[in-house]
C-alpha cells in the first residue's frame, strides 16, 4: 500500500522536475557575478568571455560564468576553453563593434527571439540567449561544445593543444615559442608529405598502371589527376594541423579563407581532369561504331562537362571558400537567364536543333547532303552550326535550327548511287553495230566489280535530231562520292574503248548538206559489214579489254 502512495506522489511531482532542475542549476545565478564579468547585453557577455581567456588574463572560471549549463555535465572551465578553441579553429573573427549593446536585443531573423548569432554559416549552433535579465551562451550551444571541438580538431589533434604549449610560451615576433616550433614542424611535414605522395604517384602508381597495360592512359590521364589529388591531400592535412597552432585570429582568419578556397579549387581541377578520362573512354567507344557522328559528339560532350565543372566549382568556391551567399546570385542568374533566353531565341533553337541531329542522326561526317541551296559534304557538327564543304571548296556554316526544320537529302546514306547518261551515235551507224554496241555495254556493267548486277537499263531507245540515242542507266554500290567518281571514270573509259574497238562514232550537233548535183562527192559513210563481222569485233574487245574467255 505504501508503494502505491509513493508512486502516486512521484507521478504528481513529474511536471515539477524541470523547475527543480532549473532551481538547482540556477544556483550559479544566485551567486554574485565576479569582477570582470558582465552579462547585461550580448556585447558585455562576449567581452566577459574572451577577455577572461586571454593569455595575460587567463581566468577560465570567470569565462565559464557566461555559459548556460542547464542539463550539461562536465567541467565548466574546460567547456569555456574548448569553446574559445572552436572560435579560433573555425577562424571566426569577433568584432565587438558589431555586437549589439542592447539588453533587450531581438534577432529579427530568429522569430524575434532574444538571441544573438556570431556566425550562422560557420557556427550555426553557437549563440547567446537571454534568460531572465542575463545573456549567456545558450544551453544548446554549451551542449554542442564537445562535438564541435571534436569536429574542429579531429584525429587526435586536440591532444596537441595540450602538449605543444609545454614547449614554451616566450614570445618572439608576436608568436609564442611553441607556435614557432609548431610552424617548423608543419613545414617539415609538408615537405615530407610532398616527397611521399610524389613517390607513390610517379613511381608506384605509374608502375602498376604500366604493368596492367595502360601506360599511355596512366601517363596522359591518370597521372595528372593523381598529382592534383596529392596536392589536395596535403592542403587537407595542413588545414587540420595548422589549427593546433592557435595563431592570432586576425592571421588565422585569412589562413582559413585561403584553405577554404584552395580545397574546392583543387577539387574542381580534379574533376576537370576526370572529364578528359571520361571523354577518352567515350572516344574509344565511338571509334568502334560505324557512324562518324559519334566522333563529333565526344568533343562536344567534353566541352560541356568541363563548362559544367567550372560553373559548379566556381559556386562552391564562392560559397565555401569566400563565404558568400550564392542564393541571390543564383536568383539573379535565373532572372537574367529568362532575359537572355528571350534575347537569344535563335541560339537556343540552334542548340536544340543540334540535339535533334545527334539523336535522329540524319547524316554523319563525310556524307554528301542536299537541302535547298545547301549542297556539299558534312565536315563538322557543332552545338550551334554544321560545317558543310561545298563542291566549290567553299565552307558553309548552316545553323542547326535551320537544318532540323529543313528537308535534307542525304546522298551518303544511299545503298546504290545512280549513274545515267545518253550515248549519241551517228546516223551512219548500222543497226547490227548498234546492237553489238549495246551488248558490249551490258558486258562492261556485268564485269565491273562495283556495279549493281540485278538492275540496269541499257537500250537503244531514241532517234533525236542528229543522233541515234542509247540510254545508259546503271547503279554503283559504293559508300562515298570519291569512290563513285572513280567508278564512273572506269566505266566511261571502257565505253570509249568499246566504241573504238567496234568503230562506233559518237554524234554531236551537226548539219548535213546533201548535193545531188555532185554525185562524186560522198558523205562520211561508216564502213559496214555483216552481223558476224561485228560479233567478231565485240568478242575481240571482250577478250582483250575485259579479259573474258570466249569460245
DSSP class of residue 212 equals: T
- For 390-415, what is the mean pLDDT? 80
Q: Which residue in 144, 124, 34 sits closest to 82, CA to CA?
A: 144
Confidence band, pLDDT 50/70/90 cuts, at residue 257:
confident
**Interval 280-311: pLDDT, tens:** 877 777 777 666 666 667 777 788 888 888 88
CATH number listed for the domain at residues 417-513+523-544: 3.30.70.100
350-to-73, 355, 377, 399 alpha-carbon distances in Å: 66, 9, 20, 6
Percent of the chain having pLDDT more than 70? 77
**Interval 369-388: pLDDT, tens:** 888 788 888 888 777 788 88
Q: Which residue in 361, 367, 494, 476 sits closest to 420, CA to CA?
A: 476
pLDDT at residue 520 tops 60: no
Residue 468, pLDDT score: 94
Strand arrangement, sheet containing 368-371:
395-399, 385-390, 374-381, 368-371, 409-410
Which pairing describes strands 385-390 and 134-137: parallel, antiparallel, or unpaired?
A: unpaired
Contacts of 283 (CB under 8 A, 6+ apart): 295, 298
Q: What mean pLDDT is reported for the chain?
A: 78
Interatomic CA distance for residues 426 and 32, integer angstroms: 131
How many helices and strands in the chain, by DSSP H and E?
21, 15
Interatomic CA distance for residues 48 and 63, integer angstroms: 6
Confidence band, pLDDT 50/70/90 cuts, at residue 357:
confident
Which stretches does DSSP call E strand in 52-113?
53-54, 57-58
pLDDT at residue 324 tops 80: no
Q: Which residue in 273, 255, 252 sits closest to 263, CA to CA?
A: 255
Residue 498, pLDDT score: 92
C-alpha cell at 415: 545503298
Residue 421, pLDDT score: 94
Confidence band, pLDDT 50/70/90 cuts, at residue 81:
confident
Q: Which residue in 87, 88, 62 sits closest to 77, CA to CA?
A: 62
Confidence band, pLDDT 50/70/90 cuts, at residue 227:
confident
Question: 178 vs 306, which has greater pLDDT?
Answer: 306
Question: 381 vs 39, which has greater pLDDT?
Answer: 39
For 354-379, b/e burial (b = at least 16 CB within 10 A) is beebbeeebbbbebbbebeebbbbbe
Neighbours of 417 (CB within 10 A): 23
pLDDT at residue 17 tops 50: no
Residue 298, pLDDT score: 75
Interatomic CA distance for residues 66 and 487, integer angstroms: 96
Interatomic CA distance for residues 208 and 202, integer angstroms: 10
Residue 490, pLDDT score: 94
Radius of gyration of the chain (CA): 46
- Domain boundaries 361-412, CATH class: mainly beta
Angle at which helices 345-360 and 327-343 pack, to 10 degrees?
A: 90
Interatomic CA distance for residues 436 and 502, integer angstroms: 8
504-to-384, 448, 534 alpha-carbon distances in Å: 56, 21, 11
End-to-end CA separation in angstroms for the chain = 133
Question: 354 vs 74, which has greater pLDDT?
Answer: 74
pLDDT at residue 525 tops 60: no
Question: 262 vs 290, which has greater pLDDT?
Answer: 262
DSSP class of residue 495 equals: H
Amino acid at each position: 500500500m505504501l508503494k502505491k502512495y509513493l508512486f502516486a506522489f512521484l507521478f504528481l511531482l513529474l511536471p515539477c522536475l524541470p523547475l527543480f532542475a532549473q532551481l538547482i542549476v540556477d544556483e550559479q545565478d544566485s551567486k554574485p557575478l565576479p569582477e570582470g564579468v558582465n552579462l547585461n547585453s550580448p556585447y558585455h557577455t562576449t567581452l566577459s568571455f574572451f577577455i577572461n581567456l586571454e593569455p595575460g588574463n587567463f581566468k577560465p572560471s570567470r569565462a565559464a560564468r557566461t555559459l548556460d549549463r542547464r542539463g550539461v555535465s562536465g567541467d565548466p572551465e574546460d567547456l569555456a576553453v574548448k569553446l574559445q578553441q572552436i572560435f579560433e579553429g573555425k577562424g571566426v573573427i569577433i568584432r565587438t563593434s558589431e555586437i549589439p549593446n542592447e539588453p533587450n536585443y531581438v534577432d529579427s531573423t530568429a522569430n524575434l527571439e532574444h538571441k544573438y548569432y556570431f556566425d550562422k554559416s560557420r557556427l550555426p549552433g553557437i549563440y547567446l540567449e537571454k534568460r531572465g535579465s542575463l545573456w549567456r551562451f545558450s544551453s544548446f550551444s554549451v551542449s554542442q561544445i564537445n562535438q564541435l571541438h571534436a569536429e574542429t580538431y579531429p584525429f587526435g589533434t586536440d591532444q596537441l593543444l595540450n602538449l605543444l604549449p609545454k614547449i614554451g610560451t616566450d614570445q618572439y615576433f608576436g608568436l609564442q615559442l611553441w607556435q614557432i616550433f609548431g610552424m617548423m614542424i608543419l613545414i617539415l611535414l609538408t615537405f615530407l608529405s610532398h616527397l611521399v605522395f610524389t613517390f607513390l604517384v610517379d613511381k608506384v602508381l605509374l608502375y602498376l598502371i604500366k604493368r596492367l597495360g595502360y601506360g599511355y592512359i596512366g601517363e596522359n590521364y591518370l597521372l595528372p589527376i593523381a598529382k592534383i589529388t596529392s596536392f589536395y591531400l596535403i592542403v587537407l592535412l595542413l588545414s587540420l594541423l595548422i589549427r593546433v597552432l592557435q595563431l592570432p585570429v586576425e592571421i588565422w582568419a585569412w589562413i582559413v579563407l585561403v584553405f577554404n578556397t584552395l580545397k574546392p579549387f583543387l577539387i574542381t581541377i580534379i574533376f576537370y581532369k576526370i572529364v578528359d578520362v571520361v571523354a577518352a573512354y567515350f572516344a574509344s567507344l565511338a571509334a568502334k561504331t560505324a557512324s562518324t557522328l559519334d566522333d563529333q559528339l565526344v568533343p562536344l560532350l567534353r566541352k560541356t562537362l568541363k563548362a559544367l565543372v567550372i560553373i559548379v566549382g566556381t559556386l562552391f568556391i564562392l560559397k565555401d571558400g569566400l563565404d558568400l551567399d550564392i542564393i541571390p546570385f543564383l536568383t539573379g542568374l535565373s532572372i537574367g537567364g529568362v532575359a537572355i533566353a528571350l534575347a537569344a531565341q535563335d541560339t537556343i533553337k540552334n542548340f536544340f536543333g543540334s540535339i535533334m541531329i545527334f539523336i535522329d542522326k540524319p547524316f554523319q561526317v563525310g556524307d554528301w547532303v542536299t537541302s535547298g541551296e545547301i549542297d556539299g559534304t558534312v565536315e563538322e557538327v557543332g552545338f550551334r552550326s554544321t560545317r558543310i564543304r561545298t563542291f566549290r571548296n567553299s565552307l558553309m556554316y548552316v545553323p542547326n535550327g535551320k537544318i532540323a526544320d529543313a528537308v535534307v537529302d542525304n546522298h551518303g546514306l544511299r545503298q546504290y548511287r545512280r549513274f545515267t547518261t545518253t550515248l549519241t551515235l551517228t546516223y551512219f551507224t548500222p543497226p547490227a553495230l548498234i546492237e553489238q554496241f549495246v551488248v558490249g555495254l551490258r558486258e562492261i556493267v556485268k564485269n565491273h566489280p562495283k556495279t549493281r548486277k540485278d538492275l540496269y537499263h541499257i537500250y537503244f531507245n531514241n532517234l533525236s535530231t542528229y543522233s541515234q540515242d542509247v540510254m545508259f542507266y546503271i547503279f554503283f554500290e559504293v559508300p562515298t562520292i570519291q569512290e563513285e567518281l572513280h567508278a564512273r571514270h572506269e566505266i566511261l573509259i571502257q565505253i570509249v574503248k568499246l566504241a573504238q574497238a567496234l568503230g562506233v562514232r559518237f554524234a554531236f550537233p551537226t548539219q548535213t548538206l546533201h548535193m545531188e548535183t555532185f554525185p562524186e562527192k560522198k558523205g562520211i559513210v561508216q564502213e559496214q559489214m555483216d552481223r558476224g563481222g561485228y560479233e567478231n569485233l565485240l568478242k575481240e574487245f571482250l577478250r582483250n579489254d575485259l579479259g573474258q574467255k570466249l569460245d
